[in-house]
């Protein structure tokens, strides 16, 4: 636990991962400022938390003067604000660049200028691209396959340079397919798990792009949150994979969700999507060195997700 004087900013804090992180920080005694333009985040994700310990500023990381003002007397910045989604970035690469690259640069400059202790940056396993070698290790050369992946690896390079040149401690967390409660199923860019659950509850078949034999390393959101706090409160700097240690085919995922929801609906298969990678699995041995130990199996995480869906 930390003392009550610790202050953090969470950019994108009204979003899916960000809102869970804000909850965890508050439970540890942090004073938290959320910066979120609510383009993909939702106020109801953090509504119950707002008050003495938590402020929500509706603003964008593309506003550098505001960031400089809000980062005063802040210990840690958790930078999760981004335009997510590979398909979205393929449709609108310029918007992805402005928020994900220029926005990250704004965050780093403001953190440097205010003497912030550390920036924890949300990166992505997308930076690895479709390199056939598994599991993915942090020392592999990035091979981005989409504008989104380019924005994430660019942010990592900026973090590294700001540490080397300006002495600003930074940690980059490469998330592998984070899922859990509050993940939006309604966006056209929705991730596979909320989309499958939502369709199953409506009695509709899951839609699988490709043959369904592609694999993913699904990471429960509370494990990802724990990684953020470990990254901030330890001496860690650099790049870390955040995954679950196991991979699952999309066909297996569809069967598991059907079993948990007791539906007999069979998937529909469509053409593969541009920019999607074939296989993904994290080597998390480096993250283990700072105490990261994922606690949730895919089935346990799905049960938690489905339980909160019904509340």
What's the distance, CA 157 to chain centroid?
18
Q: Are 292 and 284 in contact (CB under 8 A)?
A: yes
Find all residues with CB under 8 Å of 197, minimum gap 6, and list them. 185, 257, 261, 302, 305, 306, 309
Determine the distance from the C-alpha atom of residue 165 to the mean position of all C-alpha atoms in its chain, rounded to a whole number. 27
Residue 157's SS3 state is: helix
Residues 6+ apart with CB under 8 A from 53: 26, 30, 31, 32
What is the SS3 assignment for 162-186? HHHHHCCEEEEEEECCEECCCCCCC
Element (H, E) at 25: helix 16-27
Check if 189 is active-site. Answer: no
Name the active-site residue from 30, 128, 148, 292.
148
By DSSP bridging, strand 248-249 and strand 215-216 are: antiparallel
Provide the Cα torsion 52, 11, 233, 120; round to 10°. Answer: -170
- Segment holding 226, helix H or strand E: helix 221-233
Residues marked active site are found at: 148
């Amino acid at each position: 636990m930390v003392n009550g004087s610790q202050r953090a900013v969470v950019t994108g804090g009204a979003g899916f991962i960000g809102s869970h992180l804000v909850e965890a920080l508050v439970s540890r005694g942090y004073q938290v400022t959320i910066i979120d333009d609510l383009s993909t985040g939702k106020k109801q994700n953090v509504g119950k938390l707002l008050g003495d310990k938590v402020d929500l500023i509706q603003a964008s990381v593309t506003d550098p003067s505001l960031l400089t003002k809000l980062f005063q007397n802040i210990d840690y910045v958790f930078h999760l604000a981004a335009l997510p989604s590979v398909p979205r970035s393929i449709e609108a690469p310029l918007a992805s660049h402005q928020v994900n690259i220029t926005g990250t640069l704004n965050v780093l400059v403001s953190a440097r200028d205010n003497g912030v202790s550390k920036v924890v940056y949300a990166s992505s396993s997308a930076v690895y691209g479709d390199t056939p070698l598994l599991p993915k290790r942090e020392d592999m050369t990035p091979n981005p396959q989409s504008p989104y992946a380019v924005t994430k690896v660019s942010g990592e390079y900026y973090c590294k340079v700001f540490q080397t040149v300006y002495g600003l401690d930074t940690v980059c967390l490469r998330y592998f397919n984070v899922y859990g409660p509050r993940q939006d199923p309604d966006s056209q860019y929705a991730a596979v798990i909320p989309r499958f659950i939502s369709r199953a509850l409506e009695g509709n078949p899951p839609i699988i792009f490709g043959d369904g034999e592609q694999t993913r390393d699904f990471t429960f959101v509370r494990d990802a949150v724990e990684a953020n706090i470990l990254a901030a409160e330890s001496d860690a700097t650099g790049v870390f994979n955040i995954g679950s240690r196991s991979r699952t085919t999309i066909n297996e995922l569809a069967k598991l969700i059907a079993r948990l929801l007791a539906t007999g609906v069979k998937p529909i298969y469509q053409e593969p999507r541009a920019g999607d990678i074939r296989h993904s699995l994290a080597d998390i041995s480096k993250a283990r060195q700072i105490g990261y130990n994922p606690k949730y199996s895919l089935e346990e995480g799905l049960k938690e997700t489905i339980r909160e869906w019904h509340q």
